[in-house]
Structure 1
Amino acid sequence: MLIRQFRGSTKLFLGVLILILICTLYIEYKSRKKQTSFAMLHKQGNIKDQYKLIIVVFSAPSNLEQREAVRGTWLSENYEDVKHLFVIGTQNMEFDEHDRLASENKAYHDLLLLPNLQDSYQTLTKKLLHTFAHIYKEYNFDYLLKCDDDSFVLVDKILKEFEKQRYEALDKELYWGFFNGKAQVKRSGSWKETDWIFCDFYLPYALGGGYILSQNLVKFIAHNSNILRLFNSEDVSVGLWLAPLSNIERKHDVRFDTEYRSRGCSNEHIIKHKQNTEAMITMYQTYKASGALCVKEVKYRNSYRYNWDDPPSRCCIREPGIP
């Protein structure tokens, strides 16, 4: 009698154990299948990675030292909702150089290589269009920062500004940088514009050492890339392309030291253009140690606050006391 009860209990126990095992295997199967489906959708481009900010850094193929300096300083901080990419055109590139870039990308996974673009000063505007088209296709994001590999950026301060704007309920598209409205059209030199026929000056534009666009503005440029008129200066081109759009907040910010040469060093700056590798390392170490950007503040020339109420020819009067 006891033996039969023991055998019955054993069979019951084994049955329950088998049932638990079957349920566990089924749950594991469903989980793996779900993960595989998600991975396939992600691979097919149906699900995009989401970021608050995507940073595209324009770099020349040979500028490894500059890229290493940027990686080791202001891009060394990890932010969950920020992604960066160094953008390089690879068309007609020698095999050895292409191989070096492939090795670099294998090590860092942060190069956007454009196979249909030959990298040069003359193709910067095309480079921008190729970049925007790729970024808009591959990622979901709120904002995009375009800068150069000789720009130094305080990403944490930019993210805080985004939070401030969110609380202010800004419902306009954002075009944020250091604007110029009275730049005369270049008629000679590297940036000569032979096709500019609109007026004697460029339309107001944010200078290319670093500017930020909200996602819808990137979308507009990416979707219309085949019909937009291209000029030598990519930042001038962006200003022209966005000129007729409504509902844009053109935010002129004196904290963007993004002109063709630096105005100096102010602890209020959040983007600084025309910085060599040594300057980047010094600024990064100073900022990490003290929260200040400059070992010593210095001014090489005056800045200006953009006057949107005056015609562009009178927009930008430099004054002392402005960072």
Structure 2
Amino acid sequence: MVVRMLMMRFKRRFSSALLFGLLAVISLLILLTFCHTPCEVGGEREINISELSNNNVELIFATNLLIVVMSAPTHFDVRNVIRETWANTLPNGASVRFVVGRKNLPEQTLENVKQENKVNRDLLLLDDIEESYSSLTKKLLSTLKWVDKHVKYNFLMKVDEDSFVRVENILEELLAKPQEKLYWGFFDGRAHVKRSGKWSEKDFVLCDRYLPYALGGGYVISKDLVTYVAKNADILKQLNNEDVSLGTWLGPLDINRIHDVNFDTEYKSRGCYNSYLVTHKKSADELQELQKNLGMLGRLCAKENRVRLSYNYNWNDLPTKCCERTDPAIP
């Protein structure tokens, strides 16, 4: 009797162990089938072929916030400084791509760019863009079209190479921002159209001032606005200034334009404030110093300072009266 009870208990335990092992094997097979590539890479998720969208576009990766850095092909050192500073440890939900035009590049430069991308896997190489100042708007448009086709995301942030971005803070702020029709940055609405010089716009015939636009050191737009631009790319007027172009393209739309003084994105930095989300016109040394401050002091600025006054955009008055620099309390 005792022997029979022991035999029955052994069979039950053996069956449970066998069942557990069988389930583990099945789970492993499922995992290997549906996750050929890492599911999380630097805050972005690789897309499997089974996750392609309904219109059969080729999705490359998924992320909440995609930051595109407009970069020159030969600026290897600049990109490395960014990788070592604000883009070094990206929070989950954020990804960075350096946008480089590869059309007609010298053979050695192209090879260097390809090798760099093999190592870092963070370049967005545009086959149709030949790098020059006059092609910046075309480069932005091509970038938006590529992103709309190949990335699953919610927000896109465009920044320049000489900008410092507080990525984690941007993500936190986005939680309280409109999730659609968002155009967020530091706006100007009273700039005169330039008819000569590097930034001349001889084909801008809408009026004698530019339409309100977010300055290009850094701004954020939601996915639906990227899609709008991408879908209408063939009939959009391309101006010399890519940031003016985007403001003009979005001008007639009923969207959420949010002016934020914590975007220090003008042609000249306004100084240093710990509340800044992005700050522009920084040298490589200054980028490293800002990162060092965050690591050692827990704040962006060793000491806050002002170089020039800021302004809150007045959306209730005419654009020519939008941007009065009169309040020294504004960072």
Alignment TM-score > 0.5, same fold:
yes
Instruction: Provide closer, same or farther for how the CA distance between residues 77 and 26 of structure 1 changes in structure 2, counting only shifts above 3 A.
Output: closer
Partner of residue 141 from structure 1, selected from 126, 134, 153: 153
Structure 1 residue 265 and structure 2 residue 272: aligned? yes
1:291 Cα deviation after fit: 2.3
In 1, are the aligned partners of 2:180 and 2:223 still within 8 Å (CA)? no
Who is 2:40 aligned against? none
* Distance of 1:259 and 1:82 partners within structure 2: 24
Residues 247-258 of structure 1 mapped to structure 2, 5 A cutoff: 248-258=255-265
Who is 1:3 aligned against? none
Who is 1:308 aligned against? 315
Who is 2:136 aligned against? 124
Q: Aligned letter for 1:260?
A: Y
User: Considering only aligned residues, what root-mean-square deviation do their CA atoms show, in Å?
Assistant: 2.7
1:321 Cα deviation after fit: 2.0
Who is 2:176 aligned against? 164
Instruction: Provide closer, same or farther for how the CA distance between residues 47 and 239 of structure 1 changes in structure 2, counting only shifts above 3 A.
Output: closer
* Distance of 2:311 and 2:26 partners within structure 1: 67
Partner of residue 237 from structure 1, selected from 239, 245, 250: 245
* Distance of 2:135 and 2:260 partners within structure 1: 28
Who is 1:60 aligned against? 72
Partner of residue 276 from structure 1, selected from 277, 283, 292: 283
Query: How many equivalent residue pairs?
Result: 307
* Distance of 1:299 and 1:27 partners within structure 2: 59
* Distance of 1:31 and 1:270 partners within structure 2: 39
Instruction: Provide closer, same or farther for how the CA distance between residues 93 and 47 of structure 1 changes in structure 2, counting only shifts above 3 A.
Output: closer
Worse overlay, 70-79 or 95-104: 70-79
- Encode CA deviations 1:88-136: one digit per residue, 9 max, x unaligned: 1011110000000011101100000111110111101100111011111
Structure 1 residue 107 and structure 2 residue 119: aligned? yes
1:62 Cα deviation after fit: 1.4
In 2, are the aligned partners of 1:153 and 1:271 still within 8 Å (CA)? yes
* Distance of 1:230 and 1:204 partners within structure 2: 16
Q: Aligned letter for 2:315?
A: W
Worse overlay, 207-216 or 75-84: 75-84
Q: Aligned letter for 1:90?
A: R
Larger Rg: 1
Who is 1:6 aligned against? none
* Distance of 2:63 and 2:79 partners within structure 1: 22
Gaps of 5+ in 1: 1-15
Partner of residue 198 from structure 1, selected from 187, 201, 206: 206
In 2, are the aligned partners of 1:42 and 1:48 still within 8 Å (CA)? no
In 1, are the aligned partners of 2:58 and 2:150 still within 8 Å (CA)? no
* Distance of 2:154 and 2:35 partners within structure 1: 26
* Distance of 1:95 and 1:64 partners within structure 2: 16
* Distance of 1:152 and 1:210 partners within structure 2: 9
Who is 1:177 aligned against? 185
1:32 Cα deviation after fit: 4.8
Instruction: Provide closer, same or farther for how the CA distance between residues 229 and 289 of structure 1 changes in structure 2, counting only shifts above 3 A.
Output: same
1:293 Cα deviation after fit: 1.0
1:220 Cα deviation after fit: 0.4
Partner of residue 81 from structure 1, selected from 68, 93, 101: 93
Q: What's the secondary structure of 1:313's corresponding residue?
A: helix
* Distance of 1:224 and 1:231 partners within structure 2: 15
1:23 Cα deviation after fit: 9.2
Worse overlay, 202-211 or 38-47: 38-47
1:77 Cα deviation after fit: 1.4
Identical counterparts, % of pairs: 42
